């Protein structure tokens, strides 16, 4: 008899969590059928930045695993690039789900990975603001210096350089000045708030 009560409570809690995620993100995670396209296309997951793949995060939400989801590194290292969203055959905006999960984790003070994520995001934005586009080599060096994780760059830099995936100098871009102006306007507007 008590097992039935526990199962009933579990189903109630499970539904409450899914409903809260839905209200915060506007995304119905119940539509996810675990095809894995989000994880296959995720650059951060594929370079070993996440502890749980995006499709597993979706499944954990479906199963009502609130505590476990909010403790993952994945929700903090997601860069909301929307590659997963573009690949999703069910039209789920996984980035918005990740944002909702970060808000929930912050509300519950479950932010053990938040500092590294903040460092990553700030370094990323500064890189775009400076060059008008991503300059990967400087980004990798700046993030390594900021976080102190020197072994991360030492492990992957040689292979990346040999493959030609990490140019020494930033590529030129026709409208880079416009991107810089957008970034400057954003900083100005944030300062006015």
R_g over Cα of the chain:
19
Beta strands in 46-184 (DSSP E): none
In angstroms, the CA 137 to CA 117 distance is: 19
CA distance 142 to 184: 20
Please check whether residues 77 and 102 belong to one and the same domain. yes
Average pLDDT over all residues of the chain: 82
* pLDDT value of position 1: 42
DSSP state of 30: G
Residue numbers of the domain that contains 124 = 114-192
CA distance 69 to 66: 5
Check: CB of residue 21 under 8 Å from CB of residue 29.
yes
The pLDDT tens digits of the residues spanning 53-85 come to 999 999 999 999 999 999 998 998 888 888 999
- How does DSSP assign 78-118, residue by residue? ----SHHHHH-TT---HHHHHHHHHHHHHHTT--TTHHHHH
Same-domain pairing of 51 and 121: no
pLDDT in tens, 106-154: 999 988 777 777 777 788 888 888 887 777 778 777 877 887 765 556 6
Same-domain pairing of 94 and 130: no
**Tokens, residue 74:** 């994945």
The reply to whether 136 and 85 lie within a common domain is no
Residues 103 and 145 in one domain: no
> CA 141, CA 102: separation in Å to the nearest integer?
26
Give the residue from 67, 89, 107 where a domain finishes.
Answer: 107
CATH of the domain at 98: 1.10.1060
Q: Which of 40, 74, 107 is the last residue of a domain?
A: 107
Task: Identify whether residues 102 and 27 lie together within a single domain.
Answer: yes
Contact in structure between 44 and 79 (CB atoms under 8 Å): yes
Report the pLDDT value the prediction gives residue 151, as an integer from 0 to 100: 53
């Amino acid at each position: 008899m008590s097992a039935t009560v526990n199962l009933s409570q579990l189903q109630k809690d499970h539904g409450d969590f899914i409903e809260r995620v839905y209200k915060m993100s506007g995304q119905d995670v119940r539509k996810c059928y675990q095809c894995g396209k989000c994880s296959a296309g995720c650059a951060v997951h594929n370079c070993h930045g996440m502890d749980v793949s995006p499709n597993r995060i979706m499944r954990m939400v479906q199963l009502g695993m609130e505590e476990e989801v909010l403790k993952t590194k994945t929700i903090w290292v997601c860069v909301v690039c929307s590659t997963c969203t573009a690949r999703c055959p069910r039209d789920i905006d996984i980035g918005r789900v990740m944002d909702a999960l970060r808000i929930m984790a912050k509300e519950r003070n479950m932010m053990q990975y938040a500092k590294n994520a903040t460092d990553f995001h700030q370094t990323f934005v500064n890189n775009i603001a400076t060059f008008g586009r991503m300059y990967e080599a400087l980004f990798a060096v700046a993030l390594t210096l900021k976080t102190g994780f020197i072994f991360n760059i030492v492990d992957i830099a040689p292979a990346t350089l040999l493959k030609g995936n990490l140019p020494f100098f930033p590529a030129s871009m026709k409208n880079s000045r416009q991107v810089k102006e957008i970034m400057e306007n954003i900083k100005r507007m944030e300062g006015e708030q």
